[in-house]
Structure 1
Amino acid sequence: MTTPIRAAVSQASADNIQPLTSLRFFAAVWVILYSYWSALEGAIPIGIIEKGYLGVDLFFILSGFILSHVYMTSLGEGRFRYGSFIVNRLARVYPLHLATLCFAILLWGAATLKGISVDKNLVNWPSLPAHLFLVQAWGLAPEASFNHPSWSISAEWFAYLLFPVFGTVAWSMRARPWLAVGLSVTFLVSLYMIFEAFMGFKLTSATVFWGALRIVPTFMLGCALYLVWRSGKLAPQVALMGAAASSLIVIAAASWLKIDALIVPMLGLMLLCVSRFGNGGVMGNRVLVYLGEVSFAMYMVYVPWKWVYLNVMGIVLGTGDAPLPLLWWVVGLIAIVPVAMLGHHIVELPMRNVVRHLGDRLRYRLAYRLAR
């Protein structure tokens, strides 16, 4: 007889595609390298690093894929519980977001007391309500402020709220998965072209003011790619490894040519190939999987840590705002991992359980009152 606990463990194991968990770590590193590169003394332009901001779009594709993997079948079969889904999603992202938001305010306060000059947008009080309600990427925050990478968490929240729409549309095309992918890529490329024509800049460069729109085509692509994975109609693993390598080559080449509309779909292809590598391969390595699990914390702490580290090293080395020598730059980069581990184990995991517990109690109370 299967106990509820064993059933939950089995479901968690089935839902965990370890190579994609590991891929999250590489996506986070890509974004962090992009942000830190200018702080390196003697840094030269490297195309693939200059495109590191697209690591966020890879996260968005991953999000659409994984949420479809976990929830799409229940959505299609009428077993989906929107309330539970929203609570679980909020528990996943909000505690660390709130912690880094508070830390950014504390940094600003400490720097102000010490007379240290800080970015005028580090704290923008009119933007605080939007950050508290996770709507800062919906065009509702007057400035990019506090912990800036949190704009993407706001965009994710937008996609979470609309997941039943994304999932239902994708489910209706489950018998034609490659058509779903083709339509998603067509929509993505078209939206990129139209947006740039009207706005004068790339949608892949949007953060606070258009972040909610930026996630739509990539999240949709992730849902469509899941349909292909679900169908099992993929090439043998050797061919998939070749396709993944080829996609990386195309991504590198497109980075030099600055063609985001080509890079993002190729990121999706690479993700699809990696998803079929199996949990026992290189991408299923326990260390990489663990780093993938702390990748969200890495992404959320890297800007506050960068601000602290660069200012401290500027004082210690007497270089001020000048870029760091290679050794100290590498030390600061590597140190993000243990800082993220602390955030993951002290804030993210325990508070995730607290939010879920509070959400469950709220739902039970509402259900009880409605039943009376």
Structure 2
Amino acid sequence: MSAPPRPQLDSLTAARGIAAWLVVLFHIRSGMPWLPADVLHVIHKGYLAVDFFFILSGFVIWLSAQGEFAARGLGATPAFLRRRLARIYPLYAVMLALTVGFVLLLEATGRSTAGYPWAELPLHVLMLQNWGFTPDLSWNHPAWSISTEFAAYLLFPLLVLLFSPIARAPRWVILGAMACLIGILAVGMQALGYTNLGGHIVKTGLARCIAEFAMGCLLCALWQQGVDRVSRTVAIVALLGGGFVWAGGFTNELIAFPLVTTALIYLIADHSQRGGKIARPLVYLGEISYATYLSHFMLFIWFKIALVNNAANIAPHLIALYVLLTLAASVILYHGIEKPGRRLAGRR
């Protein structure tokens, strides 16, 4: 008997696209001092979109792969990892190669190559750069999260073994396990002296990803038990209540953001499952979001070299041009590299 088809959660895809653009705005915020202070304050928190990605990734991976592990056990691991590498590595490799070409051009023209240490390049090729081997971010900075996601993929078979009994337990057990993960992450970050989730990515990024990825797995297990009026109401209360205590300064984002995000993803998934519609352009932004995420940082560097005189105050029309170029690059990379590369890598 074939497995039942997985639900098409277009709302989550659209949310991923919005999150990717929050990361873009976060990385270009220093060039937009002309924005209102309140807007800049929100954009300054754009790094939290990466935490949204981690939780959402755990949710989606559990939804797509847990059934195969339940049926085949650890024997499902090779095929799972092959699919994940086919999904992420072709575009990752192309962006890394373009960055290497850029650095070679810098060297050929006698310019500084600080931030692109050749000794660390093998770690980037193997997607190990944010596993605690380096002191700082280097090369294509946003790829640090792909490195930690790769670690989460490697751990996923063990998470399935660990979480499967919890996934079959009553909902309060799953909620308790998620609360434990939120608490462990918060206590660990505070022990290192950080009160926000973006503190020192090189030190905390790997643990941050794995903890939040695990939260997403448990969240999906909770969602798979079905959403009724009570659970939907609890999620709404958690979303609004978490946002209120965070905005009011009663707690920091270490606790509030995972709580708000898990509630939000739960409600968004419920919206899609109940047949809720989402605008097709937003879904498409989500489909090309990986290309947006991997390309925007280096593209901004190249854009500034070519067209910007004052990187601390970039004219609005140039920011608009950069946004359009990033969108165009995302479309080209998605259709020209990511999708064909995924098919080719999958066959091999």
The one of 19, 22, 25 aligned to 1:27:
19
Give 2:290's aligned residue.
Answer: 296
Alignment check: 8 A CA contact 1:297 1:344 kept: yes
The alignment covers a number of residue pairs equal to 343
Give 1:108's aligned residue.
Answer: 103
The one of 88, 91, 97 aligned to 1:93:
88
The one of 171, 182, 186 aligned to 1:188:
182
Deviation at 1:281, TM superposition (A): 2.9
TM-score normalised by the chain length of structure 2: 0.88
Quick one: distance in 2 between partners of 1:237 and 1:221?
A: 17
Give 1:159's aligned residue.
Answer: 152
Give 1:369's aligned residue.
Answer: none
Alignment check: 8 A CA contact 1:177 1:224 kept: no
The one of 300, 306, 327 aligned to 1:337:
327
* CA offsets 1:293-313 (integer angstroms, 9 cap, x no match): 110110000101110112222
Give 2:122's aligned residue.
Answer: 129
Tell which has more relative contact order, 1 or 2 (C-alpha 8 A, sep 6+): 2
User: Structure 1 200/26 Cα, relative in aligned 2: closer, same or farther at 3 Å?
Assistant: closer
Q: Which 5+ residue runs of structure 2 have no aligned equivalent?
A: none
SS in 1 for 2:314: coil
TM-score normalised by the chain length of structure 1: 0.83
* CA offsets 1:306-334 (integer angstroms, 9 cap, x no match): 101122222xxxx3433212222122123
Alignment check: 8 A CA contact 1:48 1:252 kept: no
**Aligned AA (1:234):** D
Quick one: distance in 1 between partners of 2:179 and 2:41?
A: 23
Give 2:256's aligned residue.
Answer: 262
Deviation at 1:52, TM superposition (A): 0.9
* CA offsets 1:40-99 (integer angstroms, 9 cap, x no match): 142436432221111111101011101111111232233661110000001111111111
Q: Which piece of structure 1 moves more, 123-132 or 15-24?
A: 15-24
SS in 1 for 2:290: helix
Q: Which piece of structure 1 moves more, 346-355 or 14-23?
A: 14-23
Alignment check: 8 A CA contact 2:51 2:212 kept: yes
Q: How does 1:94-243 map to 2 (within 5 A)?
A: 94-117=89-112, 120-121=114-115, 123-174=116-167, 175-198=169-192, 202=196, 204-235=198-229
Q: Which piece of structure 1 moves more, 337-346 or 139-148?
A: 139-148
**Aligned AA (2:15):** L
User: Structure 1 257/198 Cα, relative in aligned 2: closer, same or farther at 3 Å?
Assistant: closer
Quick one: distance in 1 between partners of 2:67 and 2:314?
A: 50
Alignment check: 8 A CA contact 2:292 2:327 kept: yes
Quick one: distance in 2 between partners of 1:31 and 1:251?
A: 24
Alignment check: 8 A CA contact 1:48 1:256 kept: no
Alignment check: 8 A CA contact 1:100 1:301 kept: yes
Alignment check: 8 A CA contact 1:188 1:261 kept: yes
Deviation at 1:276, TM superposition (A): 0.8
Alignment check: 8 A CA contact 1:96 1:347 kept: yes
The one of 76, 79, 92 aligned to 1:81:
76
Q: Which piece of structure 1 moves more, 27-36 or 235-244?
A: 235-244
Q: How does 1:264-279 map to 2 (within 5 A)?
A: 264-278=258-272
Q: Which 5+ residue runs of structure 1 have no aligned equivalent?
A: 359-372
Alignment check: 8 A CA contact 1:22 1:290 kept: yes
Deviation at 1:198, TM superposition (A): 3.3
**Aligned AA (1:71):** A
- Say whether 1:59 aligns with 2:49: no
Give 1:368's aligned residue.
Answer: none
Deviation at 1:256, TM superposition (A): 11
Q: Which piece of structure 1 moves more, 79-88 or 199-208?
A: 199-208
Give 1:40's aligned residue.
Answer: 32
Quick one: distance in 2 between partners of 1:20 and 1:71?
A: 17
Quick one: distance in 1 between partners of 2:297 and 2:250?
A: 26
Quick one: distance in 2 between partners of 1:192 and 1:128?
A: 32
Alignment check: 8 A CA contact 1:237 1:276 kept: no
User: Structure 1 191/41 Cα, relative in aligned 2: closer, same or farther at 3 Å?
Assistant: closer
Quick one: distance in 2 between partners of 1:260 and 1:251?
A: 12
Deviation at 1:260, TM superposition (A): 3.2
